[in-house]
Amino acid sequence: MTSAEEEFLQSLRATFKVEAAEHLQDIGTGLLELEKAAAPEEQQQRIETVFRAAHSLKGAARAVNFTEIESLCQSLEDLFAAWKRRESLPTPSTLDAAHRAVDKMSQAIALPAVAGRTGHRAEEASATSPQPVSVQPVSVPTSETETVRIAVNSLDARLLEAEEMLAAKLAADQRAGDLGALAGRLELWRKEWARVQPRTRAAAASADLRGLAEFFDWNHDYLRALEGKVAALRRTAEQDRLLIGKLVDDLLENSKKLLMLPLATLSALLSKLVRDLCRDQGKEAELTIRGEEVTIDKRILEQLKDPLVHLLRNCIDHGIETPEQRRRAGKPARAAITLTVSPVNSTQVEISVSDDGVGIDVEKVKAAAGKRGIATPDTLDRLGESAALALVFEADVSTSPMITRVSGRGLGLAIVREKAEKLGGRVAIESRRGSGTTIRMTLPLTLATFRGVLIESARRLFILPTAQVERVTRFKLQEVRTVEGRRTLTLDGRAAALVDLAEVLQLPSTPHKSDRPEAVPVLVLGAGEQRVAFAVDAVLDEREVLVKRFTKPLSRVRNIAGATVLGSGEVAPILNVADLLKSARTAGAGLRTPAAAVPSAMPAKRILVVEDSITSRMLLKGILESAGYDVKTAVDGIDAFTALRTEHFDLVVSDVEMPRSNGFDLTARIRADRTLAEVPVVLVTALESREDRERGIDVGANAYLVKSSLDQSNLLEALRRLA
């Protein structure tokens, strides 16, 4: 190996170490959680997590010639696969062996010990010094002039600050709009006044109501002056809106560029992966990469490594033939694999991986899906070719007759789809027998902001990513058809399932307005035969959206990907399209008719949510209202106690750490008040020490839930017991 090749390999391994730390951390933590898991479902979930981490780490190790790591991962993968198939169960001895393998891999790549039997905290395993990144003007590419090295975490912080400025821009838009509406109302008043003023003045003069006539004169002058001030404010607000808008747009755009990297940063790793895999399998292939100069958000690029590795491995193991097989089929001995990156528009990029191999046997895919119980034989028989091809993205579906070191477990393409959907993108597949396969990922260029459609459903506002909305249209109720017990619409000559968004989200049913228009708005999501039309109350607007990601205990909320703050100050959940499509496929999601809603037999329980974080407060409100509760919010203990003294509540859900008056103090005041002493109190907090728990119980809390181990179902179960 030449010195240049050695240097290149070392640079690849440096990158690999960062990725390996994450995978090893996931495996180590998962093994610890597996030891504690009692329920079979929970055990299977933990096994799936460590299985996928080992699978991804194995592929990354192979790419940089870490054969020892690859071999250890293979052993772990075999062990986890046996657990997954329930051929054996995790035992203390096998768990110990797995922990030793993780420790050995950590030592092999000179990483700190991963959380496990050593007792180290999980954070220590992934703690690394900030990575430096080279920042340079886009106009001077593959050049070292005018560069500076800045820690990546510093750039991340600057970008987040710039993204937060988007809220100021949206607020300025809202204020300008409000002033415009006020000016319009004043204009209407002026016109009405001008219409009636002559008659009222004449009537006042004929009746000798001199005082009233003077008032009319004063009112006219005052209105003119007020109108002038509002007009001046409106002009100023419009100028401010334009100025702030340009400043924020420029700042955000330039800040994003700081963390935009070309695909070329991954191309060397991918080319080596293809070369090594072909060598091991006795195949020949040439990887052509197009669009290497296209820049993508560094955070997205990092998330793309695993999917691209899985796609290329899939091409070589499943797609392309041996040189002899290709010659017999009249093809060149060397297969062609093409990775193409191309901008779709100013906010999206498409990444496709294609090969000229054997293509996909649809019947084998159906057979594999049927064997795994993913769909019934009748359902599989009715699937069209595109829908059947999409089954390859389901976990455990593989057409390979054997499991090899490279693939065959039916996991790689499932990871590709999950990664793409997590990034707010989508995946599609095309294949022709004998001619090859193409898999396309459409992804956002950046993670933080995107264009979103603002909609209303069940009197609530939601955001849907524009990139994932195929079309917005209207339908008439008489156009709805029932096919196999499901309501459908015919769009472009093809049937699409029709569901009510509010019902899919399990929101409380609201009566339809008697004057509701006959044409109902719908948004069509999905693609091909997987399209679903979601009926909503209104499609309001399309706008730029700043994503607020969730943290524990709300890091994974079904059907919700995040939240955003609108210019009006309202918090709107951002819907997770992949979850919506899955939820819509479950039984019972129909379309509510305009008939009057049936009143509830029992009034909803009233809950007071006390939380100083606006995002957590509004999200908790949405979750509880979706469960059928009537919810009011308060920002701290003082605000909450004032509400409790003036209104009736059946239960209080409160954070602990809040300004002015915390949750402990609020609970103590409730228990000390004769009229409130019986109101149940649930404390939800990040404070998890034994002393904090004991203090919560001592002051009179009925339940003390720790955010780090809390999920939506735990909270709702606690409320059902107490309310």
CATH code of the domain containing 40: 1.20.120.160
DSSP state, residue 508: P
Q: pLDDT (tens digit, 9 = 90+) per residue, 193-242?
A: 777 777 777 776 666 666 666 777 777 777 777 777 788 777 877 877 78
Residue 141 domain-assigned (yes or no):
no
Q: What is the pLDDT of residue 408?
A: 47
Q: Where are the alpha helices (DSSP H) in 37-151?
A: 40-63, 67-84, 92-108, 122-126
298 and 430 share one domain: yes
Q: What is the pLDDT of residue 393?
A: 83
Q: What is the pLDDT of residue 710?
A: 61
* Whole-angstrom distance, CA of residue 127 vs CA of residue 117: 18
Q: What is the pLDDT of residue 627?
A: 78
Average pLDDT, stretch 594-609?
Answer: 60
Residue 131 domain-assigned (yes or no):
no
Q: What is the DSSP string of 631-660?
A: EEEESSHHHHHHHHHHS--SEEEE-SS-SS
Residue 362 has pLDDT above 50, yes or no: yes
411 and 456 share one domain: no
Q: What is the pLDDT of residue 248?
A: 75
User: Which of 19-28, 310-319, 431-440, 589-598 is predicted with the least confidence, judged by mean pLDDT?
Assistant: 589-598
For 144, other C-beta atoms within 10 Å of its C-beta total 8
Average pLDDT, stretch 531-539?
Answer: 89
Q: Are 258 and 308 in contact (CB under 8 A)?
A: no
172 and 276 share one domain: no
User: How would residue 4 be classed by pLDDT, with cut points 50, 70 and 90?
Assistant: low
Beta-sheet pairing, 532-535 with 519-525: antiparallel
Range of the domain at 12: 3-126
Q: Are 216 and 201 in contact (CB under 8 A)?
A: yes
Residue 496 domain-assigned (yes or no):
yes
Residue 140 domain-assigned (yes or no):
no
296 and 365 share one domain: yes
Which of residues 353 and 561 earns the better pLDDT score?
353
- Specify the CATH number for the domain of residue 619: 3.40.50.2300
Residue 657 has pLDDT above 70, yes or no: yes
492 and 620 share one domain: no
Residue 146 domain-assigned (yes or no):
no
* Whole-angstrom distance, CA of residue 610 vs CA of residue 618: 10
175 and 319 share one domain: no
Give burial (CB, 10 Å; 0-12/13-18/19+) of 661: middle
511 bridge partner residues: none
Of 585, 619, 641, the position where a domain reaches its end is 585
- Specify the CATH number for the domain of residue 354: 3.30.565.10
Q: Are 79 and 98 in contact (CB under 8 A)?
A: yes
Place of tokens 């990664």: 419
Residue 143 has pLDDT above 50, yes or no: no
Which of residues 138 and 191 earns the better pLDDT score?
191
Q: What is the pLDDT of residue 687?
A: 77
149 bridge partner residues: 134
Q: pLDDT (tens digit, 9 = 90+) per residue, 239-298?
A: 777 877 777 777 777 777 777 788 888 877 788 788 888 888 899 999 999 998 888 888
Q: What is the pLDDT of residue 126?
A: 34
User: How would residue 528 be classed by pLDDT, with cut points 50, 70 and 90?
Assistant: low
Residue 373 has pLDDT above 90, yes or no: no
Residue 595 has pLDDT above 50, yes or no: no
- Specify the CATH number for the domain of residue 557: 2.40.50.180
273 and 417 share one domain: yes
545 and 513 share one domain: yes
Q: Which helix (H) or strand (E) holds 693?
A: helix 690-698
Which of residues 612 and 351 earns the better pLDDT score?
351
| One-letter identity of residue 285 | A
359 and 478 share one domain: no
* Whole-angstrom distance, CA of residue 23 vs CA of residue 18: 9
* Whole-angstrom distance, CA of residue 573 vs CA of residue 215: 51
Q: What is the DSSP string of 510-553?
A: -PPPTT--SEEEEEEES-GGG-EEEE-SEEEEEEEEE-B---TT
* Angle between the N-to-C axes of helices 40-63 and 412-422, in degrees from 0 to 180, rounded to the nearest 10: 100
Q: pLDDT (tens digit, 9 = 90+) per residue, 382-404?
A: 777 888 888 888 766 666 554 45
531 and 667 share one domain: no
User: How would residue 593 be classed by pLDDT, with cut points 50, 70 and 90?
Assistant: very low
Of 126, 148, 167, the position where a domain reaches its end is 126
254 and 267 share one domain: no
438 and 464 share one domain: no
Q: pLDDT (tens digit, 9 = 90+) per residue, 145-187?
A: 345 456 566 676 676 767 677 777 777 777 777 777 777 777 8
* Whole-angstrom distance, CA of residue 41 vs CA of residue 80: 15
Residue 135 domain-assigned (yes or no):
no
Q: Are 404 and 317 in contact (CB under 8 A)?
A: yes
Residue 596 has pLDDT above 80, yes or no: no
Of 421, 444, 467, the position where a domain reaches its end is 444
Residue 653 has pLDDT above 90, yes or no: yes
User: How would residue 454 be classed by pLDDT, with cut points 50, 70 and 90?
Assistant: very high
Q: What is the pLDDT of residue 517?
A: 52
Q: What is the DSSP string of 579-625?
A: HHHHHHHSTT-----SSPPPPPSSPPPEEEEE-S-HHHHHHHHHHHH
Q: Measuring CA to CA, how many Å separate 489 from each of 30, 458, 472, 526?
A: 45, 22, 13, 14
Residue 149 domain-assigned (yes or no):
no
| Number of compact structural domains in the chain | 5
Residue 147 domain-assigned (yes or no):
no
Q: What percent of the chain has pLDDT over 90?
A: 15
Q: Which of 598, 596, 315 is nearest to 437 (CA)?
A: 315
